């Protein structure tokens, strides 16, 4: 179950000065990446490709129970691809159900419990890929890609955010290769841009434009993806800046392992 201590890595350790850096990262992600989830290009909506949304606590409990049941069956059949796929989808659904809605903005807030489910889904997906090889379920790949990208938007260290974006791009490549369409290729272009692979992003964008059904749709795709390409460049620049800051803080902590402890009354002596 997602709440078990020590089994799953959490991304929300924001103690001390680090939380100030993360707040800036959150703001950058909201500015640079959030718009990609609500693009409308021609007759389709990229938000529909990504999905998401919260649910009631009772729904979360039901889904977590389903997760446990599938995990029990997988313990007996660890290489059953259908069970692995079912578990991946159920863990993502549980994560969505554990996501809170901001009463002011209406936006989604990824809770630590939701993060645990999403991370578990990533692990299950990787197990699934090892079993099925080069021909995974394209619809599941699309779902997984959107989930990883949403994880990136929820914040964390720069390294964690970049890892989530790379995982999203990898899953989206599988989806686009299996079912090339304006939607799958446009989404792939976005993810590739944010990984920093602009050549791959441009290639996916061109392929999306080639599948457009009208000149107006082609222009819409080109315009919106160009905007996101610029945002991705700005994000990469900021990411490098904050990665250096995180690295510097990490070195300081290694040199002074007690540096994060507050003084006075701690009772520590040399």
DSSP string, 56-76: -HHHHHHHHHHHHHHHHHHHH
Taking only Cα atoms into account, the Rg of the chain, rounded to an integer number of angstroms, comes to: 20
**How many structural domains is the chain composed of?**
1
- Return the higher-pLDDT residue of 161 and 256: 161
- Domain membership flag for residue 186: yes
Contact between residue 98 and residue 113 where contact means Cβ atoms under 8 Å apart: yes
- Domain membership flag for residue 268: no
- Domain membership flag for residue 264: no
- Domain membership flag for residue 62: yes
- Domain membership flag for residue 259: no
- Domain membership flag for residue 262: no
- Domain membership flag for residue 243: yes
- Can you give the residue range of the structural domain that contains 130? 26-251
Mean pLDDT for the stretch of residues 66-92: 94
159-195 pLDDT tens trace: 888 888 999 999 999 999 999 999 999 999 999 999 9
**Cut 0.95: pTM above it:** no
Reference 158, options 121, 109, 192, 195; nearest CA is 195
For the record, the structure tokens of 210 come out as 């080639």
Q: How confident is the model at residue 38 (pLDDT cuts 50, 70, 90)?
A: very low
Residue 74 pLDDT greater than 70, yes or no: yes
CATH of the domain at 73: 1.25.40
- Domain membership flag for residue 14: no
Residue 42 pLDDT greater than 50, yes or no: no
């Amino acid at each position: 179950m997602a709440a078990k201590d020590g089994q799953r890595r959490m991304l929300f350790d924001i103690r001390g000065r680090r939380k100030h850096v993360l707040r800036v990262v959150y703001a950058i992600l909201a500015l640079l990446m959030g718009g990609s989830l609500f693009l409308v290009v021609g007759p389709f909506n990229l938000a529909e490709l990504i999905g998401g949304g919260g649910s009631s606590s009772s729904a979360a409990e039901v889904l977590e129970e389903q997760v446990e049941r599938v995990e029990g069956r997988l313990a007996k059949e660890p290489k059953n691809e259908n069970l692995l796929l079912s578990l991946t989808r159920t863990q993502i659904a549980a994560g969505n159900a554990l996501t809170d809605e901001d009463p002011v903005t209406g936006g989604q807030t990824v809770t630590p419990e939701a993060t645990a489910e999403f991370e578990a889904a990533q692990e299950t997906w990787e197990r699934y890929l090892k079993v099925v090889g080069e021909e995974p379920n394209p619809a599941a790949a699309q779902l997984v890609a959107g989930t990883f990208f949403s994880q990136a938007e929820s914040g964390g260290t720069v390294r964690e955010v970049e890892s989530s974006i790379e995982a999203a791009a990898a899953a989206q490549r599988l989806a686009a290769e299996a079912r090339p369409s304006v939607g799958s290729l446009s989404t792939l272009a976005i993810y590739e841009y944010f990984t920093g692979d602009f050549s791959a992003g441009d290639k996916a964008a061109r392929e999306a434009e080639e599948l457009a059904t009208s000149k107006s749709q082609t222009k819409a795709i080109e315009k919106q993806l160009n905007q996101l390409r610029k945002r991705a460049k700005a994000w990469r620049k900021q990411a490098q800046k904050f990665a250096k800051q995180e690295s510097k803080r990490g070195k300081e902590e290694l040199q002074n392992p007690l540096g994060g402890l507050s003084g006075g009354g701690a009772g520590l002596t040399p």
